[in-house]
Structure 1
Amino acid sequence: MQTTDETTPPHSLSDWKVLFPYWKSEEKWWAWSLLGGTIGLSVLYVQSAVWFGAWYHRFFDAFFAGQVAHCLGMLPLYLLVTVGSVAVHVTQTYLTQVLSMRWRLWNTRVYLRQYLSEEAYYRLEHGPNRADNPDQRIADDLSQMTVQTLKLGLDAIDAVTTLFSFAVVLWNIGGVFSFDWHGHHFHIPGYLFLGAVITTLTASGILERFGSPLIGANYRQQHFDADLRAGLMDIRRNSEQIAFYGGEDAEHLRLSGYLAHIATNWRSVVRYTWRVNFIGEIYTGIATVPLWLMLAPKAMAHALTFGLYSQINSAYTQVRISLEWFIFNYADLATLRSVLQRLGEFERTVRQQPETGIERFASEIPSVQIRDLTLCLPDTKPIARIGNLTLESGERWLVRGPSGSGKSTFLRALAGLWRHGSGAVSFNMRQAMFLPQRSYVPSGTLRQALSYPATPDRYETLSCQRVLEAVNLAGYSHRLDEIADWGDVLSPGEQQRLAVARALLFRPAILFLDEATSALDEGNERRLYEALLSALPGTTFISVAHRDALCRFHDHEIVLGDGNAVFSVLEK
């Protein structure tokens, strides 16, 4: 859906809070030390610029007075200070890059912990309060935040340091502007400095007035760019299915829609950027005119030498550039504010507590306890009433019913992923395992994919080879340490067999299977269930399935339909 100006979330001062945690973290001493070193070098660099301004004054006065020998004697010190100034600037840049990377890494670790805690990653995709493209916010926005904040922040500190340093110079060498008006005599000390302040603040106010819509336009542009990247990733992940369907035209139409949103919003970005650049360039072009007008009385009084003008022009320019920090950096500030807006929105969404409804409690008892459980849709419309049920250790339950009756929703509720409804469930969650219909196969080595969610060093090679053989994947035993995108290498049926192999390795006390063998033929399905029952005789099984052939592997049945659950014992 295209985001318009009216639906763009408003910028809030609370969004700036995302900048602060790092500076109060366990890395604060490193952070403040690097920042202090960078600021110290910045001050030193500015002071060298002040020295250069005074040096230019003396040098050019002597040069135009014909004192060539004196000028040549001044050059060695100039070259020495130049080398030192360059060294200071290069070191400052290095410290800034180190600080930027440390800040980004710390922020990314924190955001990843938040993203992977309490199923936040699931709620962001399926919950009522969603945040679009969380991957972009973690990978791209955090990087932009650290780089832009340090760049703009250090530039601002450099601007303030330069302002104070050259304001003193400009105030002292500019003198006093005196004039008579209506019989009164007026004296304005530091009038060159005051003139620079007034003209720059006026231009900044005009720029904020006409350039502020650029913030919302940048926010929307990041959103639409992320949508296009997500659409291209969908094609990569589902290339085979798209090829089978011959869906190239449909995908082209979908991506063209994303591209149209980008193009439409880009026109807004270009329009507002044009405003900002136009005002900035106009100001830059006429910025020296006020100085000439203010120096006219000195020139007419023959009180302005070339050396003095050189120093005044240098100091005035430095003061003006310092005050123009807001003007020159307005586009970057607009981008940073939109990035902070997206990160603030992400944090608020992640920190929202899961909605109340079905409660889930951890327990050490071997059974699964279900109390007054009712499943509902998000609009509170009931799907199925389960009621009270206890699944004792070692029992095997088959969940059946027509499509849409709530079978998979029942398992999601047990997993804590579905909160809509009422009631409570409790079981030993540390000893439970869920096998969904579509198994997740991470990239990396096959050993990593097989051991997931445990680390690959948890299981011995012989154990891995045995479970692969048990699920009819013995042909992959010699490829355990081969790195590949196994989600593409393995067929859907092989992926389901790999998931069962994980269960054989993990040996859970409670195993939930949500049509976990639906992609298999009956022979392979029978072999997997026989392997599970043989290896895990004391495990409680809860299987969602449609095939009658699975009844032989279960001793109890839950049939969902007509809004109620019916429990029965299966006859062998």
Structure 2
Amino acid sequence: MFVSFFPTPRLFFLSAAVWSLAAILFWFFGGEQLGALVGLPPAVAGTPPIIGISVFWSAPFLWFYIYFFLAVAAFYGFWRWYSPHPWQHWSILMTAVILFLIYFNVQVSVAVNTWYGPFYDYIQGLMSGTIQSTAGEFYAGLASFAWLALVGMNVQVVNNFLVQHWIFRWRTAMNHYFVSHWSKLRHIEGASQRIQEDTMRFSQIMEDLGSSFVESLMTLIAFLPVLIALQAHISELPIVGEIPQPLVIAALAWCLFGTISVMVAGLKLPGLQFRNQRVEAAYRKELVYGEDHADRAQPATTAELFNNVRRNYFRLYFHYIYFNVVRYTYLQADNIFSMLILGPSFVAHKITFGAFSQISNAFGRVTGSLQFLLNSWSTIVELQSVHKRLRAFEATLEGAPLPDIDERFMKGKESDAGVKPIEA
């Protein structure tokens, strides 16, 4: 799954994580200041933030673009020398481009959050009559947001286009790799489906989860300082009263509670999803044999196989009931949680309309990034089931025993799912 697209996968991913962490730490502990050597100094502490689209060609941003390019070039150059790979342009360079565009869109969100404060305070002043303004000034403020939204939207469109091609390149690499070993893999149950469908689903899900995780991490890094700065407006939290870092602690506690709740509720789902693919594959395989052999796909056989499909789906539906109850109850409560913790500050008249807009948006971004597992649990369940099927291919090529569930299936011992081995 990975060796077809990435050079020396285990070492590659370990080195990518270490190099990324080193680049991030160096940036925060001196790298950002190096831009001054080339005329691109960092923003001076205490100066008003740049409002609007011009922030993206300010000196600090231009230096970050150069810094990111240099870090990627060094990483790519090392792997091209150490372990050349036919897909390294896509697995390294295009991955870096996608990550950069994700970062850029996160920064667009930060710029929008910065715009919220002065603009909504301006709106509050207009509504209360304490500010005199003109229609031109009002529309200029809206135009500032419109430029940010327009740039963010188009960057997202470009990123989606690149991601689609990236996914298909990974699927192509897996397809060529497995097809080249078809003689060793053809005896595995559902081999054709695993190559045709599971490789496609695996690459799509991995990209979806990977980009979501990176976006969540970048959002957390970008918005956590914003949230810390904004909590100067917060006097205390409900029930617990005054505590250090109130917004950060509230976000962490709330997201930890939700994530644990959803993970516990969804423990049984991966196994059931995997068995679902088993019974569907057995039913489909018998129907395919029936197209060429008159003695196959007899009514009694197909009825039994379809009954296995029905039984497993009904079990899956039952377990999804309480999983969805837990998940959607939490997500609905999440919609009002920020209002709940801001209650004491509203009553104490410590929050303006602009500050409230900034806090609500920043708090939602931070909690959203911390809720990665909660929001992605259904996708993770699907990935686990697909990974188990493709893992049988890798075990065969490595000369290792098949995964336990494949061994039981091949021996006809999958009694709990009602699956019976089919002789070709």
TM-score, normalised to structure 2's length?
0.70
CA-atom RMSD in angstroms: 2.3
Which structure is larger by alpha-carbon Rg, 1 or 2?
Answer: 1
Q: Which has the higher helix share?
A: 2
Structure 1's consecutive aligned runs of 4 or more residues displaced over 3 angstroms after TM superposition are 18-21, 176-180, 185-189
Residue 206 (1) aligns with residue 261 (2): yes
Of 339, 343, 346, 2:390 maps to 343
1:76 is displaced (CA, Å) by 2.5
Going from structure 1 to structure 2, the CA distance change for 1:346 and 1:280 (only over 3 Å counts) comes to same
Contact residue 235 and residue 344 of structure 2 kept, 8 A: no
Of 154, 177, 180, 1:113 maps to 180
Contact residue 177 and residue 188 of structure 1 kept, 8 A: no
Contact residue 228 and residue 259 of structure 1 kept, 8 A: yes
Q: 2:371 maps to which residue?
A: 324
Q: 1:22 maps to which residue?
A: 5
Residue 255 (1) aligns with residue 302 (2): yes
Of 184, 188, 211, 2:243 maps to 188
How many corresponding residue pairs?
315
Instruction: Tell me how far apart the structure 2 counterparts of residues 63 and 179 of structure 1 sit (CA, whole Å).
Output: 26
Q: 1:308 maps to which residue?
A: 355
Instruction: Tell me how far apart the structure 2 counterparts of residues 254 and 295 of structure 1 sit (CA, whole Å).
Output: 62
> After superposition, what is the alpha-carbon deviation per residue over 1:233-284, rounded to whole angstroms, capped at 9, x for unaligned?
111122xx35xxxx8xx71221111111111111122122223222110111
Which amino acid in structure 2 is aligned with residue 54 of structure 1? T
1:164 is displaced (CA, Å) by 1.5
1:203 is displaced (CA, Å) by 1.4
1:23 is displaced (CA, Å) by 1.6
Instruction: Tell me how far apart the structure 2 counterparts of residues 353 and 72 of structure 1 sit (CA, whole Å).
Output: 67
Gaps of at least 5 residues in structure 2 are 8-84, 127-132, 402-424
Q: 1:104 maps to which residue?
A: 171
1:78 is displaced (CA, Å) by 2.2
> After superposition, what is the alpha-carbon deviation per residue over 1:425-463, rounded to whole angstroms, capped at 9, x for unaligned?
xxxxxxxxxxxxxxxxxxxxxxxxxxxxxxxxxxxxxxx
Q: 2:91 maps to which residue?
A: 31
1:177 is displaced (CA, Å) by 6.1
Instruction: Tell me how far apart the structure 1 counterparts of residues 307 and 328 of structure 2 sit (CA, whole Å).
Output: 31
Instruction: Tell me how far apart the structure 2 counterparts of residues 319 and 153 of structure 1 sit (CA, whole Å).
Output: 18
Going from structure 1 to structure 2, the CA distance change for 1:186 and 1:307 (only over 3 Å counts) comes to closer
Q: 2:230 maps to which residue?
A: 173
Gaps of at least 5 residues in structure 1 are 1-17, 126-130, 355-572
Which amino acid in structure 2 is aligned with residue 52 of structure 1? V
Going from structure 1 to structure 2, the CA distance change for 1:80 and 1:219 (only over 3 Å counts) comes to same
Identity %: 23
Which amino acid in structure 2 is aligned with residue 38 of structure 1? I
Q: Which has the higher strand share?
A: 1
Instruction: Tell me how far apart the structure 2 counterparts of residues 95 and 107 of structure 1 sit (CA, whole Å).
Output: 19
- Point out which structure has higher relative CO (alpha carbons under 8 A, 6+ apart): 2
Q: 2:107 maps to which residue?
A: 47
Q: 2:280 maps to which residue?
A: 225
Residue 278 (1) aligns with residue 325 (2): yes
Instruction: Tell me how far apart the structure 2 counterparts of residues 42 and 150 of structure 1 sit (CA, whole Å).
Output: 13
Name the SS of the counterpart of 1:132 in structure 2: coil
TM-score, normalised to structure 1's length?
0.52
Instruction: Tell me how far apart the structure 1 counterparts of residues 345 and 300 of structure 2 sit (CA, whole Å).
Output: 69
Which amino acid in structure 1 is aligned with residue 195 of structure 2? I
1:37 is displaced (CA, Å) by 0.6
Going from structure 1 to structure 2, the CA distance change for 1:353 and 1:197 (only over 3 Å counts) comes to closer
Of 117, 133, 142, 1:57 maps to 117
Name the SS of the counterpart of 2:284 in structure 1: helix
1:297 is displaced (CA, Å) by 2.3
> After superposition, what is the alpha-carbon deviation per residue over 1:107-135, rounded to whole angstroms, capped at 9, x for unaligned?
1110111223xxx14xx53xxxxx31111
Contact residue 62 and residue 68 of structure 1 kept, 8 A: no
Residue 148 (1) aligns with residue 205 (2): yes
Which amino acid in structure 2 is aligned with residue 206 of structure 1? S
